[in-house]
Amino acid sequence: MEQTLARLLAHERVRAARHHIERTDEVTVGRQIALSAIPSPTGAEGPRGARVAELFREVGLSDVGVDQAGNVHGWFGGEGGRGTGDGSAPVVLAAHLDTVFGAEVNVRVERRGHRLEGPGISDNARGLAALVAVAEALVVGRVPLGRPVLFAATVGEEGSGDLRGVKHLLNGNHEVKPVAFIALDGAGLERVIHRALGSRRYHVTFRGPGGHSWAAFGVANPANAVGRAVALLADLPAHHAPRTTCAVVRLGGGTGLNSIPQEAWLDVDLRSEDPRALAQLDVTVRAALDRAADDENRHRTPGTPAVRVEPQLLGDRPCGITPRAHPLVQAAIAANRALGRDAELTSASTDANVPIALGIPAIALGAGGRAGDAHLATEWYENVEGALGIVRALLVTAAMAQPD
């Protein structure tokens, strides 16, 4: 892979593409600002997606469109964008459209010296701007590739979106069978995310008869059951290899200070890098929830209705790994080395989770620059070596699009 990267860096067309990225760095930042200022809550990505589709057409991608899920796609290379004959399986370069912020949040971007501040300015306006920049560089540089590249701006990556955009892209579109998948997510240059952090998220409701806090005292109390469940989950042993976690993240219920609630609830977030560990944790957590209900029912007044537990699965993000020795991971490491930067191999939950779980080699990369306060209204981005992050994405994409 080192030799492949060296050949790419020396190739006249790749050098032209790199030069274009560096020369149009401020244009890319301008697109980043403009895209960030278009509200794009999970489930309402349409306006931002429409603008990305316009940009895909402007920079010269072919067969630009929007699929049934709302993903925006465009193609570079091949006949009609899809390639022909042997070796036409594409490389997918993707970035997600949605943010964690609701429609009521002001997403206007402000400049403060060298810093850009605005909700979503890095996650993921930076990834989207880099996606467009790589596409434009390939077109302008007329870079010859052995495989087509599918550029995809996906919906539903954040939180409740449960990766629905990339799930549709890879499961619902039988024309897309990629040889490699690269997600551009946020800022940074060192991290190479090759381990998919999986999660299962439950909204758990305990229901009971309820009643007056004095007159009905002794009936099974859903609020007590929530408390018992939280205590049981908090006492679960920690697992460090592989790291596996269970966190109660929200709870609530009840209608008044003098009423035993008819229902109370908690939200719980299970995570692991290992699918077997995540599955085992799921079994353990569900058993703890059942035990909490049973414990509360044992304490109720005889003859009164029992409390029942109703877990609802809100999110299921698969986990897995693209091995360090795989050419895709090695391409990212070699690209970092060629650009004079170390590579930090790590894990996270990104669009790359889905292809990894499907057996498709996948990684996620930052798109250059520095950022902070992700998922907060104070999120910021500084364009320090921003172009270098986009050049890295170009090199990794081109390396994986070489003919076999």
Which pLDDT score, from 0 to 100, does residue 88 have?
78
pLDDT tens digits along 310-325 = 999 999 999 999 999 9
Query: Among 123-137, 170-184, 280-294, 368-382, which stretch is predicted with the lowest mean pLDDT?
Result: 170-184
Q: What is the distance between the alpha carbons of residues 277 and 271, in angstroms, rounded to a whole number?
A: 9
Give me the mean pLDDT over the 9-19 stretch: 96
CA distances to 35, 167, 244, 279, 397 from 200, in Å = 30, 16, 12, 9, 31
Can you give the pTM of this predicted structure? 0.92
| Distance, CA of 40 to CA of 165 (rounded, Å) | 14
pLDDT of residue 50: 98
DSSP element (H, E) containing 11: none
First to last CA, the chain: 13
Residue 106, pLDDT above cutoff 80: yes
- Give the separation between CA 404 and CA 400, rounded to whole angstroms: 9
Sign of the Cα torsion 190, 196, 197, 199 reads: positive
pLDDT digits (tens, 9 = 90+) for 29-87: 999 999 999 999 999 999 999 999 999 999 999 999 999 999 999 999 965 445 433 45
Position 175 scores a pLDDT of: 62
